[in-house]
A and B are shown apart, each in its own frame.
With several copies, the nearest count.
Chain A
């Protein structure tokens, strides 16, 4: 439902003052999203933001669009209802790593599988912020938190891998403090017809400060961000390192200098999800060189479209439903 009216950030900014901790990465994401929205050409009233519970969940209140702050973990399901009922709406989901992957894991993977037309922004801070610092299913093994004073013992999810395993049609990763990259990924997510899953590395400076320094840091970042661009060879670290083909079809990170250019992999967001999955497993992000950008983008009918098509076809076949005919269909008798 795009139009051509001129809008500004202000049109998407509600009168509520944000209440995150000073310095929280959420502020940067909010600013980026509010600034980006006018570009979409979608009126605030045709835009819906849906969130779960967590620090991230407050996002909804700061957008001057329609908004629904649901219960913990259920935002993808709530949003599926909205987007399926009214496919003319542009629906965004804002969620945290606990909200999306702990309590809400099932709804997330099903929304992705169904290809519901949702833009899902997952704030990945590897911690439970709102409940004051327990570990999250994305925290690294050994994490010491209030609920794991001796370190966590369970291996985290890689959200990108999980989304790919769930047959997601759009999967990307970006970083809170890189406004340009973030906006670029948002744009591609918005353009994608269907479920777009965007993992945003977000610094929680109160309970997990510095988790993404290797990638967020102005000097470290450029060395460790593997920026994926569709159709281009995967090189990074100022062109010195690359992703190349290794034995038995495996991929590996190597120095460009030591690599036959034919062995360098070209990024391809289409085709089977295997390449994207391989890229997600190149390293133990975010503490090693890590891919950011769009991992995968393929087009399939969205769930809302398919549902409404089926209704349209039923109406073509049988005409608009007639209640009287419905009741009297089958055997009746008259007294």
Chain B
């Protein structure tokens, strides 16, 4: 039987196994090879909530999903075309993610009674009809791996642990991925442990050869490289891009980066990543709690550093009082909120966009703050720089909204020319002989940033209301109103320096505007494209700055007879848009702890168009 090659535009593969099975690593390597091949792609790791749940249980399943294509990829895919399941639990947990008719590659060795029991299968799903309608390939991955690795002479346990490389080899063969990058990577990683290296290489090759030599698979799939702008690319996850963006902002402004944080899923990776780059002069402080972290950052801001504190929802709640202090003291500072599913502890490993209103309004009193959000993993880089630029220019704290999905998923990124990143002048106040007025404002309504160490500019700031210009404590009624207005106007005025809201409206006469923000960009883009392919007139605009809104937002909204706002919350942006512009925007809300699926948006768009 000869093996045919089928060309496909896009494929979604999902690797699923036990926490200990190394699925994230497998996914990473597959992603890497795919990126090097030139496909566009997007990935989504799906961690279990437990650190290491008992092996073989459904709640211990760890998965990694990748969509890659010869055209533009905007999401990791709603559903998988192929699921690699290393054990019954993985099958149980993730079968529902696979399209009907999709391919299942199962590790046959793991389908014994004990594992079926642990996964909660009463009968073998391979035999009881559960898998009817799927293309099932049962491959004894463990035993082949053990046999292949035997010559290397490592112990049985080590040999078995290499089975993920077998799976990787097999899938690499199926999709005709280059093997060199993986082999090189293994070399780098296990160079110091030749036995382990050999075992992994043997397993990988065994997997690849298994595809090549057995007649199990009737065809391979080829996904051609996607057209891409010329440039140097890498694959990047949101957490990395955000960390690097902060470092870039530090370089652009000449201000040392000071990052204070208290660990919390899914924001901890930012702390981890930044703490590795001390040679950039990055100070990272693991604070005793989120309140301390925010205060430390604010203290560092006072000294003239690029101060950042990062957290997730529960930590945002705790930081609010301190953010209010940053608002009234008008100091530049970034607060990164990597949103996760709430309320309360909620589902810490799952994604959500539930913190927008808490970012807007989570502090007592009138406490306006700029808010910016990232729309894709690589976009986090730019967003970090933009946020720093606004914070420094306007002397204001800025909240950066990311989410669990963005932080963990990855995509190819065309590397920016770092020498072209525009400088950010901190414009520290300089002594000029005359009296110093810490609340004298410039045209941006920003006040001077006079840092300790500067002779003659000693001054005192704090949380009590200030007299404008002089900065003295003031209980004066009119001054309070003036300051309240000024704080609002200053933030509103930022819009003047922001890009206008761009609308992707192919024909210019769309009947529906889909307005989004944050990590839903990819899903919305995919859905809007499909709707257009179906002949619908649909436009898409995606907000980066949520406060202030781009100056043309009202105009854009009023240009369309219908507006749909999809969010992974219960309509938070929708409330703001409706309240501000009195536009009857319809909210599409899906709060399931996962990214929006393009196909559920298809329906929502359809309804909005007809509704």
Contact = CB atoms under 8 A, between A and B. Distances in A.
Q: Do chains A and B make direct contact within the complex (CB under 8 angstroms)?
A: yes
Given A110-B292, A131-B264, A132-B268, A85 B258 contact: yes
A310 B288 contact: no
B51 A129 contact: yes
Nearest to B415: A327
Most buried by A among B277, B419, B455: B277
Nearest to B296: A81
B103 interface: no
A19 B283 contact: no
Interface string A208-249: 000000000000000000000000000000000000000000
Nearest to B461: A68
Given A45-B452, A45-B455, A69-B461, A331 B286 contact: no
A82 B281 CA distance: 16
A119 to B, nearest CB: 15
A2 to B, nearest CB: 14
A80 B415 contact: no
B459 interface: yes
A89 B303 contact: yes
Interface in B220-248: 228-235, 244, 247-248
Interface stretch (B1-9, B30-38, B503-511, B512-520): B30-38
B289 A102 contact: yes
B279 A318 contact: yes
B452 A146 contact: no
B260 interface: yes
Contact of A82 (B38, B268, B292, B300): B300
A333 B244 contact: no
B498 interface: no
A25 interface: no
Chain B interface size, as a band, is 35 or more
A107 B292 contact: yes
A122 B281 CA distance: 33
Contacts of B456: 45
Interface residues of A, number: 86
B231 A335 contact: yes
A82 B303 contact: yes
A16 B59 CA distance: 13
Interface in B272-319: 272, 275-293, 295-305, 307, 314
A150 B272 CA distance: 11
A68 B286 contact: no
A319 interface: yes
Contact of A45 (B50, B415, B454): B454
A74 B233 contact: no
A331 B283 contact: no
B233 to A, nearest CB: 5
B473 interface: yes
Contacts of B268: 131-132, 134, 146-147
A132 B455 CA distance: 38
B52 A206 contact: yes
B292 A61 contact: no
Contact of B51 (A70, A80, A132): A132
Interface string A62-106: 011111111111100111111111101100000000000011011
Contacts of A152: 286
B323 to A, nearest CB: 11
Contacts of B263: 128, 131, 134, 147
B251 interface: yes
Contacts of A323: 244, 247-248, 251, 280, 418
Given A72-B314, A81-B260, A85-B256, A321 B322 contact: no
A335 B279 contact: no
Interface string A296-335: 0000000000011011001101111101101110111111
Contacts of B232: 328, 332-334
A170 interface: no
A55 B51 contact: yes
Contacts of A14: 458, 460
B278 A311 contact: yes
B345 interface: yes
Contacts of B300: 81-82, 84-85
Chain B residues touching A, majority SS: mixed
B463 interface: yes
Contacts of A105: 288
Interface stretch (A46-54, A185-193, A258-266): A46-54
B561 interface: no
Contacts of B463: 53, 69-71
A201 interface: no
Candidate in A68, A132, A134, A324 with the most chain B CB atoms within 10 angstroms: A68
Contacts of A310: 278
Contacts of B35: 331, 333
A291 to B, nearest CB: 26
B325 interface: yes
Interface string A18-40: 01111000000000000000000
A227 to B, nearest CB: 32
A106 B289 contact: yes
Contacts of B283: 84-85, 307-308, 311
A84 B285 contact: yes
B436 to A, nearest CB: 11
B453 interface: yes
A320 B279 contact: yes
Contacts of B329: 68
A21 B299 contact: no
Q: Which of B38, B271, B291 has the most CB of A within 10 A?
A: B291
Contacts of A335: 38, 228-231, 233
A86 B247 CA distance: 18
Given A43-B455, A64-B458, A77 B247 contact: no
A150 B280 CA distance: 14
Nearest to B251: A323
A45 B453 contact: yes
A134 B271 CA distance: 10
A314 B272 contact: no
B277 A61 contact: no
B56 to A, nearest CB: 11
B321 interface: yes
Nearest to B181: A331
A61 B295 contact: no
A223 to B, nearest CB: 32
A103 B271 CA distance: 17
Contacts of B202: none
With a 10 A CB-CB cut-off, give which of A66, A135, A330 has the most chain B CB atoms: A66
Contacts of B51: 20-21, 55, 129-130, 132, 206
Given A69-B463, A311-B282, 12 more contacts: A14-B460, A20-B51, A67-B459, A71-B325, A77-B287, A80-B285, A102-B289, A107-B288, A128-B263, A130-B51, A323-B251, A335-B229
Interface of A: 14, 16-17, 19-22, 43-50, 53, 55, 60-61, 63-74, 77-86, 88-89, 102-103, 105-107, 110, 128-132, 134-135, 137, 146-150, 152, 206, 307-308, 310-311, 314-315, 317-321, 323-324, 326-328, 330-335
12 contacts: A19-B53, A43-B455, A49-B460, A66-B459, A81-B299, A107-B291, A149-B275, A320-B279, A321-B282, A323-B280, A327-B415, A332-B233
